[in-house]
Amino acid sequence: MHNCAKIIRSFNKVRKQLFFCLLVILVFLLLFNCSTDYTDDDTEEIQYVKILYIGNSYTYFNDLPKIIKDIAITVNIDITYDQSTFGGYRFLHHKDDAATISKIQAEDWDYVVLQNQSQRPGFKPDDVRSDSLPHAEALVDLIKANNSQTEIIYFQTWGRENGDSQNAAYYSLVSTFDGHTQALKEGYEIYQESTGGEIAPVGSVWQQVVNDGSRPFNRSDLWIEDESHPELLGSYLAALTILSQIMDVNPRNISENAGLSAGNASYLRSVTAEYFGYYGAELVSDCDCVQTTPSGTTRFEKLFWQDGETYMGEEIISIPQNKLLITGIKYLNNDTINAIVLTQTNKYGDEIWTKTIDTLPNHINAYDMIMTGDYGVILLGRIIYTNAFPSGGSIAFAIKSSSSETIATCIAQLIRRRTAKTNIIIFFKLHIVYFLYYYFE
């Protein structure tokens, strides 16, 4: 008899575990198959890009192409790359180098990143035109002959920490870091004006870091001891700048630190984002949004949802073109019922659109907001049934919004029990689909 009771208890325990597992599977199926009005175009598709790097030690130090690949995959960009990078090489050498020519002809490259020797583009403008521009033109001709659609990206390098002392007597502008950086910028602009293409302004962003008194590391930490080549901080900054220029990426969305401390990597992402016009923002009170630069300067402060109703801001994220998406709670019916409000702004904080999502007469709360590939969001949360509370239950939901205001709702009903107490919250991330699972005991 005792053994029989033990077997029955064991069976009931297993049955409960099986029921729980089956319930998780059911929720999964419901959330993936519920009726929505959005299509596969709303998903975060991976972009595949082929890049060839042509340069010298400024490019191969710290394996810069690998850093670019590693940070790119965190924003759904898969880069296939090759490089022709030899110490001290100039455009003069590359245009006749068999290895460089072979690599140019090996693929129909989407982009070729060109980086000249670290001093030549910083010569006097007339000397740049006569000394190195013809070799830049010859390289671009080789690239375009292989594939006319390949886009040229000039890797504008940074000035030496204390200027180019070897050429200061010849050209006084390059005797300081700022002056050398300016001369290099002007040299790469000469290349671009003649051959077309774009400039990845690494030197200019580097200069912004150097001149920012709030940076969390020493100025000299960007260079190795020779005051020329980059430390990992400098290479990471270069990677952020090149990727942002090529792919229009908001650096704030990159999650790979490439071996740097989280604080230093986050700072460099913020500075690069600011340079390219992407700024962070925060909700400083229920409806008050403030956007600042990395150095703490306020760009704007805006109040939202000023229509006489009661709101509480929840979360804010940045999307391309420096727009913002803000979500919050709106209290209805004398503050007893919740709705979700979702607002998109332009880069000045001005409202573009606002959507209110309610499930009257029931409460609705959002617990997380996740940006998607179309720069909309997925909101995750639950609905609480007020007409049966506290003996009623809840359901979890996912709401998909595109960046153009389209709302598609996917709601899956979960188990409803009397206590309505949330015991477990499980976040599933399966490529780009997220959902919450609530188990009420």
Largest Cα–Cα distance of the chain, in whole Å? 102
How open is the CA angle 227-229-231, to the nearest 5 degrees? 95
- With a CB cutoff of 8 Å and minimum separation 6, the contacts of 169 are none
* Residue carrying structure tokens 């204390």: 162
Residue 233 near residue 268, CB atoms below 8 Å: yes
Residue 14 pLDDT:
47
CATH no. for 47-275 = 3.40.50.1110
Residue 326 pLDDT:
84
Residue 363 pLDDT:
74
Identity of the residue numbered 396 = A
φ/ψ of residue 78, rounded to 5: -105, 110
Please choose, from the candidates 326, 322, 316, the residue with its C-alpha nearest in 3D space to the C-alpha of residue 347: 322
Show the low-confidence residues of the chain (pLDDT under 70): 1-44, 279-280, 292-297, 320-322, 333-337, 367, 371-376, 385-441
Full-model pTM: 0.63
Residue 292 pLDDT:
67
- 252-282 pLDDT, tens digit each: 889 999 999 999 999 999 999 888 877 667 7
φ/ψ of residue 140, rounded to 5: -65, -40
SS3 260: coil
**Residue ranges covered by each domain of the chain:** 47-275, 279-440
Residue 435 pLDDT:
37
Domain 279-440 fold is Lipocalin (2.40.128)
Residue 398 pLDDT:
67
